[in-house]
Structure 1
């Protein structure tokens, strides 16, 4: 049975203040047997995470944003879900705590400071995914999955690795294991996002359309264009939802720990 000794946490870090206020406060990182790898100085998430994967000793690889707080006891929810999936679908390869199901609905549950609310819909049991939010991704190392080095930037790699798994006949699932994403509001989907979107629309042309947590990938990219226009016409004040000074308080308030 998988235990904490088989867990490796990998994070791309470029802001010490943010990481120390959030991810580094997570009790999981100091749990006995858990390996923690920080990837610094990389120009893309895929490069940072593949670097971490190469150094990982655990079977369960947790890729976490630096502004995520993982509540106390969270790993027990993860390991319980893994135990069920090992029986139900031994070929599972990737998991997430928020994602999109086959009908295009956002499932799973976590707190988003940037949105000022919980996102998703809680799942009672693991549900198949077509896309996963990148705030936390879990990959089974023995699946052999890696992030696409050709995908530059920091967006949509959760969708990409899910599609990679499905193409290879492996499972991708949304599980119930909520975390605190202590993020800032997204003002607009920038050029970096657009480049990731365009690359993946070409790569997965035969699988389109693909619904992600923030937009829909299509042949001509109209959903992204419409969203960008809407964001240009709307003024978003990033100070509306400031980062929580203490994410542990919100985690306890929501019953996450």
Structure 2
């Protein structure tokens, strides 16, 4: 069959792949493949006196780090037996620890910097990450290098029905056999894992995916569109090959334990899968046996809350998006907070977790609260003078005097609650800090309906010339600029 006229055949090429001299072992090949990621990780690491590295390999990272910070003491941990002289001298102490069977706490020391080099190869990751908090000195940091198995090249392997790692599982190479085992992790699984282990993760850097065929990228965007995932989200997350994640401890303060939730959870639901993998799987709700009420296909948030209230048996309602994940410790913290609010104050209480508050000293609006939003960490102080709450999650009483406006739609209704609370009820809402993960698919792009809601609340609250929100300062110019750029 003749080739089409537009077909340009590549020049012939012959490459000898195997045979002859023995090929380098799987560890060396893996190290070469990970070199860009290690350079990014190295650049992100702060100076430290004592460093612990899990997955130290042959000491490549220690050697490069000590070229910059020569005085540090470096302890490397390997899951496999290490022969004398096998690891570079930059590693002051090398420990072989079978983390499948043993605790990392057995090393009995503390460190200013802890590094997990390739999270996908960390045995008993949930337990080990939680234990690492006990080995960290006050103010110390954890850094994690992790592979993104939701990147375009990994998805191509899945479509090809071949999720190989590219590392040979040779029977006489235990390290290669371990690395050859396929693992599946994405930004959401990694961030949830770290939050549940007590860490506050933040994306410090990433290694971009190598050049991928445009048709493959377009096909992934098409699949994302079929699943309701906006292109902005898919294009960003799927093009990250490795994550470099910095972590710190922020929620270690003791909280009085409680066995039953003081709140019920109401979730307006449009996508069952998002509900299943986020709200329903949240250990922060399971730890207090919180009741989850899902209201399907509501026309407005007001409808979802009003219709759900008849099934609420607690004094409080946690109203949240279906894509919110509540990490370990959230339920205990919220219970402790709600138990301190008197019955008299309960109906007028409005609590948020991220939004905008007024700084009492400067009298200027500023961001308040805490949330991990996909890969972005919003980390701000609490506020008792709140003018805007993000709708991803908030708490009101079952007998609350705050009522969601049924005309406002799915955007800015919590900001409307805040403004009405201030002007009508003379009560400032509050924003509190708790561990929270927003597994958003929004792509960080404002839909047209957002501007409809913005226009509505500007008319409703005409005494406010500007309304401050996390999405920007909303005024007539904000809406007009968008309308003028519409095709």
Instruction: Say yes or no: TM over 0.5.
Output: yes
Work out which of the residue numbers 440, 458, 479 in structure 2 matches 1:183.
440
2:328 maps to 1:72: yes
Moved more, 93-102 or 48-57: 48-57
Match of 1:117 in 2: 376
2:364 maps to 1:107: no
Residue 94 to residue 16, structure 1, CA distance change in 2 (3 Å): same
Deviation of 1:16 after TM superposition, in Å, equals 1.2
Structure showing greater Rg: 2
Per-residue deviation, residues 71-121 of structure 1 (Å, max 9, x unmatched): 12202222333345549x6674211110101222111111011xx211141
2:146 maps to 1:146: no
Describe the SS at the equivalent of 1:23: coil
- Equivalent residue runs for 1:1-257 within 5 Å: 4-31=260-287, 34-84=290-340, 86=342, 92-102=348-358, 103-113=364-374, 116-123=375-382, 126-152=383-409, 154-166=410-422, 167-186=424-443, 188-218=445-475, 221-226=476-481
Deviation of 1:202 after TM superposition, in Å, equals 1.0
C-alpha RMSD of matched pairs (Å): 2.7
Describe the SS at the equivalent of 1:10: strand
> 2:287 touches 2:328 (CA, 8 Å); kept in 1?
no
Deviation of 1:215 after TM superposition, in Å, equals 2.1
Aligned counterparts of 1:20 and 1:225: Cα–Cα separation in 2: 39
> 2:288 touches 2:332 (CA, 8 Å); kept in 1?
no
Aligned counterparts of 1:90 and 1:43: Cα–Cα separation in 2: 28
Residue 192 to residue 226, structure 1, CA distance change in 2 (3 Å): same
Match of 2:204 in 1: none
Residue 168 to residue 202, structure 1, CA distance change in 2 (3 Å): same
Describe the SS at the equivalent of 1:200: helix
Deviation of 1:17 after TM superposition, in Å, equals 1.3
> 1:93 touches 1:165 (CA, 8 Å); kept in 2?
no
How many residues of Structure 1 are paired with residues of Structure 2 in the alignment? 223
Describe the SS at the equivalent of 1:79: helix
Residue 172 to residue 158, structure 1, CA distance change in 2 (3 Å): same
Per-residue deviation, residues 18-57 of structure 1 (Å, max 9, x unmatched): 1111111013444556322101021222221222234322
Deviation of 1:132 after TM superposition, in Å, equals 0.5
Deviation of 1:183 after TM superposition, in Å, equals 0.9
TM-score by length of 2: 0.42
Deviation of 1:9 after TM superposition, in Å, equals 0.3
Aligned counterparts of 2:319 and 2:304: Cα–Cα separation in 1: 10
Describe the SS at the equivalent of 2:441: coil
Runs of 5+ consecutive residues of structure 2 not aligned to the other structure = 1-257, 359-363
Match of 1:252 in 2: none
